[in-house]
Every structure is written in structure tokens, then in C-alpha cells.
Amino acid sequence: MSEQTTDSTNFFYDPAELTDIVTKANTQYQQLIEQLMSRQGMSDPSLSILFDVSESFQKMAEQISTNPMAVYEEQMNLWKSQIQLWQNVTRQLLGETVEPVIEPAKDDRRFNDSEWAENALFDFIKQSYLLFARSIFNTVHNVEGLSDEARQTVDFHARQFVNAMSPTNFVATNPEVLRRTVETKGRNLIQGMEQLVEDLKSSRDGLSVSMTDKQAFTLGENVGSTPGDVVFQNDLMQLIQYKPTTPKTYKTPLLIVPPWINKYYILDLRPSNSMVKWMVDQGHTVFIISWVNPGPSLRNKGFEDYMLEGPLAAIDAIEQATGQKEVNIISYCIGGTLTASTLAYMAANNDKRVKSATYMATLQDFTDPGEIGVFLNEATYKGIEKQLDRDGYLDGRAMSFSFNLLRENDLFWSFFINNYLKGERPAAFDLLYWNTDSTNMPAAMHKFYLRNMYLENNLIQGKVELNGTKIDLTKIETPVYFVSTIQDHIAKWTSTYSGAQAHSGPVKFVLAGSGHIAGVVNPPTKEKYGYWTNDKLPATPDEWFAGAEKHPGSWWPNWQEWVTANGYADAKGMVVAREPGKGKLSVIEPAPGSYASKTIAEVLREDVAVAS
């Protein structure tokens, strides 16, 4: 062992203390088993979005059987590597210095502890695992004859299996956890079990691992704290108007349409990284939609209801609040998909109240939806549909668990090890607090969304009908600004690019650094990531990127320059700053409002109380 190893005398416990530890561990273990049995008894496995993968694996097995030599060759390579590893261990024990047979990827942080390299036993365990992982991945990747959909499914689940088997996830094979267990005389495992039982109680269709200290944040105080007021509400949303920070503001108001998969305050975390605050400080009259966290009572609210009671209702309300008929819109993720649908609907009805629109990390063409597509095929859709019909909503915690599995080592296993094996409490982190503050989705809306966007890709094909109107994205002539992120695994930038090409009006496409959240929420003060621009919109994203110019820092100032040229070109200057409640709409309550404040548990309790 390295010098980090705790003195071996610490392995010996006081008998009474050891008995107490074992008794507590046994009690917690029984509670855990009861939780698991209760969850299993109440849940129909066919309703899980992770349930039906057998067809893809069966197809892979069939293809492997047609070419067994490929598997044989991979097995021989694995065997040779293992022999080499054993030989290296022998040479190490004889005092020789040897090069590793295999090393972790540079971005693999699981094996950062020095014991994985300095201790011969842990080094052997690490390399054995990495050889096994490489062999599994090579076998899966080299199978020929699979459809893209089947290959993506098999790749995903093979990755989940391999990463779940990592030695870092087990007490006996993780040197950090072993040291911690000796140092605390096993209390870390007791504390970890207590945390696991607590997390299971708040989970749904998977394990929602605690990622942050939830007690460290209070919505409206240290997150979502930009001053404003709710000035309008209906069944699906509250409309927040923010208080100005400049004596004059642009004449045309700005409406933000966030996603409803999570809450709006991703765009208003702390003052230092709040996009809302930054926009207010630039002189915009900012309104934002805060979507309701729906329960079973809203099961019949569909996608068109989100359009009618969301952006369209907000535009009407903004006219009452400011006297202005026209607005600029900035939208994010699924909020952008809704905004594009709304603009197409407005175009079909000759409604020109939107002067400019901005899409942040937004899919409009779902031909290649990225890794999330692994959860969405006809078989899994049927399972989701059964669950939606039964419950009336999709539980946001289940979707959050699924999204976390897209980055399982960073967003699941690292917290699993920290919380349950090391027995440590997660640190306070505003972004992860928001990430765990999930929202549900009404049954009707979610079924429509999955069917028409992900499964059949009807929006880009002009096959969607909303409120009796067939919509067509090519009819949108509004100036639009697309910003996507280069590392996005939710809305691949190469897929968002084809959405930009569908619009008929002026289009500016911008590519930001980083991923789905960090690339969007990137304030200028941080001077991070950078972004690419190209005045042209060639046929393919590769051509666009080849001709793009990279700029340092945040894309926000570039957007500000664009929107003032396109959204305010004929605004006739500035107007006296507007205060919430000074127009025809009265203040209902202070921001962030009651819709954003309700958790899933509170929503479901209220629905049960109303139903009874």
C-alpha cells in the first residue's frame, strides 16, 4: 500500500462498538430491502422506459452467430492481454518497472486515486477491468448488420453494464472507500445506507441519488432571486415580469419560453450567472413563463394547450402589461420546439406579433435526437403510454434518472460512491439543486410530443396539426437566432442545424462551446468556452463549421447585438422602464411564484387531496 494507507491497528474494533455498528447496519439493510420490495410490488416492469431492450440484443446475437470468428478473435485478444498482465504482475513483484497493458482514458476520473497506480493489487484489478470493458465494447461495436437504432440501444446498455461493474463501485475493490471504512470504523457504510434508504423514498422508476445539499438553497432567496412579480397565470403557467434595473428599456418586450421538463430558474440561478438578470441589465423588459408542475388532474392538457396557454397567452398578457402588441421571444430546449410550433401556427394565421425569435439548444428535426433516442422506440413508447394512461402524468423523477444515465459515471456512479460507500453528504451546488427539482408532464402532452417529434419526426415534415391548423416550419419568416452547443448530448448541434435550415426568414446560426446547460448559461464575466459564427448557412453542418470563426468568451453579447438589430430595428428608441403591476395587469405574487415553488411530492399530495 502507499503511504495513504491507514495503520493496520485501526482495523481492530472495540467489541461493543463493532456490535453497535453491525446492529445499525442490519437495521438499515432491512429497511432497504423493504423499500425495494415495496417498489417492486407496486411497479409493473413493462412500464419502465428501460424495460424492453431484448429485441435489440437478440438481433445482435443473431448477427454474432453469423460471424463467430469475430468474437473468437476478440476473445483471443483478451486472453493474450490477460497473460501479459499476469506476467507484468510477476515482474513487478520481482522489483521490475513495467509499462501498463492498458490505461484509463484521460477523461476517466474513476481511477485518479494514487493507489490505483502505486498498489500492485489495485493496479491489477484496474487493468483487468479495463481489458474486460474494452473487450465488451469491441464485441458490440464490431457487430455488423444492425440498424442504427438497434446499435444505439445495444451500445447504451452495454455501457451501462460495463460501467456498473467498475471496481470503483464496490467497497472491497475501491481503495478510497477501504481507507474511509478503516478510518471511520465502518460508520461511512452505516451513513451511506441511511442516505440510500432516504433517497429510495424520494425516487421513482430508478434511484434518484442525492447530488447536492438541498437544505442549502431556498428558491427566491439564493436561487431564482432576480426581483420580479407574477402578473398573469392560468392552468399551465405563471407569467413573471421582472423589475427593471435601467431608467429606460427597449420598447419591444422580451418573452422567455423555458422548457417544462425542469423549472425555469435554470436561467436565473445566482446573480453572477443569471441570464434573466443579465438581460434585464441590458435594458430589456423581460417576461418569463414559469410552467406548472402538473399532477393527474391535468392529464388531458395536450401540446396545443401548452401553445395556447403558454406563448400565445403570454403574448396577450404582455400587451395588457405594456401596451405593446409585438414581442421578441427567446426559447430553450423543448420550449424552443414549442416556440417553433407556435411561430408556424401564427404564420398560418397571419399573426405577426413576434418580431424575432431565438432558439437555444433546440431540436426541430428529430431524425437524429442523440443518445436520448435509446429510450424512445415503438416498444418503449408503448410502455410509457401504458404508464401515462394509468397515472395521468410522467413522473419527472423517472425522466431525471433516465437523463442522468446518459452521463452515468458523472451523474450517477460518482454520487453513488460518494454518498453510499464513502458516507459523505453531497456539497451545495446550485445547478445540481435545479437538476433535482424535477417537474412532471401531463399524459396527453407527453404522448403527443413523443409520438410526433421523436418517433415519427412529424414537425419537420409539416405533418403536425395544432388547434385545427396544419403547421409548416418553412412558412416562418421571422428573423431567428439559433444557438447550439458543441458537446450537447440532449440536442446534438448537427441535428439542430437542420431545424435552422427549415426557416424561410433571416437565420443566424451560432455554435457555443461546452454542453446543453453550461454552453447556454455562460455569462460574459466568466470568459469561458467561446463560440463560433458563420454568416452563411451551407448545406451541411460540417461545411458550416469548416467556414466558421471562433470567438472568445460568451455568445450573449453577440445575441444582444443581433436582437437589437432584428427585434428593435423599428422600435423608435427606448421607453421609460416598466414596473410590474403598472399596466393593466396587477401583481399576483412575488417571483418566483407558487408554480415554481411546488415539488413533485407537494403536487401529488394536493391532487390526492382534491380528488378525495
pLDDT digits (tens, 9 = 90+) for 124-172: 999 999 999 998 888 888 777 777 777 777 788 788 888 988 999 988 8
* 142-179 exposure pattern, b = at least 16 Cβ within 10 A, e = fewer: ebeebeeebbbbbbbbbbbebbeebbbbebebbbbbbb
The distance in angstroms from the start CA to the end CA of the chain is: 62
Measure the CA–CA gap between 387 and 356, rounded to whole angstroms.
39
Low-confidence residues of the chain: pLDDT under 50: 1-13, 18, 22, 29, 33, 37, 39-52
Grid coordinates in use for 152? 444505439
The pLDDT score that the predictor gives to residue 600 is 86
**Strands (DSSP E) found in 311-435:** 327-332, 354-360, 393-394
The pLDDT score that the predictor gives to residue 154 is 78
Measure the CA–CA gap between 521 and 517, rounded to whole angstroms.
6
Name the CA radius of gyration of the chain, rounded.
27
Please write down the HEC assignment for all residues of 207-236: CCCCCCCHHHCCECCCECCCCEEEEEECCC
Measure the CA–CA gap between 96 and 232, rounded to whole angstroms.
74
Residue 396: which of 138, 600, 577, 535 has the closest Cα? 600
Contact assessment for residue 502 and residue 460, using Cβ atoms and an 8 Å cutoff:
yes
Cell 418586450 sits on residue: 253
Measure the CA–CA gap between 595 and 65, rounded to whole angstroms.
55
The pLDDT score that the predictor gives to residue 32 is 56
The pLDDT score that the predictor gives to residue 62 is 62
**Largest Cα–Cα separation, the chain:** 85
Cell 422602464 sits on residue: 577
The pLDDT score that the predictor gives to residue 94 is 86
Grid coordinates in use for 610? 382534491
Residues assigned a catalytic role: 333
The pLDDT score that the predictor gives to residue 13 is 45
- In this structure, is the dihedral angle defined by the CA atoms of residues 199, 215, 435 and 109, taken in order, positive or negative? negative
The pLDDT score that the predictor gives to residue 395 is 87
Angle at CA 371, nearest 5°, toward 520 and 46?
Answer: 125
Please tell me the total number of residues recorded for the chain in this structure: 612
* 573-593 exposure pattern, b = at least 16 Cβ within 10 A, e = fewer: eebebbebeebebeebeebbb
Contact assessment for residue 578 and residue 280, using Cβ atoms and an 8 Å cutoff:
no
The pLDDT score that the predictor gives to residue 193 is 85
Grid coordinates in use for 19? 456490535
Secondary structure of residue 470 in the 3-state scheme: strand
The pLDDT score that the predictor gives to residue 532 is 98
Residue 415: which of 173, 139, 209 has the closest Cα? 209
Measure the CA–CA gap between 186 and 22, rounded to whole angstroms.
9
How far from chain centre, in Å, is Cα 117?
33
Using alpha carbons, list the distances in angstroms from residue 32 to 199, 394, 395, 458.
Answer: 10, 25, 22, 44
Residue 558: which of 529, 516, 515 has the closest Cα? 529
Grid coordinates in use for 293? 408542475
Measure the CA–CA gap between 328 and 481, rounded to whole angstroms.
11
pLDDT digits (tens, 9 = 90+) for 28-57: 545 554 555 454 444 444 444 444 455 555
Measure the CA–CA gap between 597 and 552, rounded to whole angstroms.
36
Q: Which domains occur in the chain, in start order?
A: 8-201 (no CATH), 228-367+457-591 (3.40.50.1820)
Q: pTM score, two decimals?
A: 0.84
Grid coordinates in use for 103? 490505461
The pLDDT score that the predictor gives to residue 404 is 76
The pLDDT score that the predictor gives to residue 4 is 41
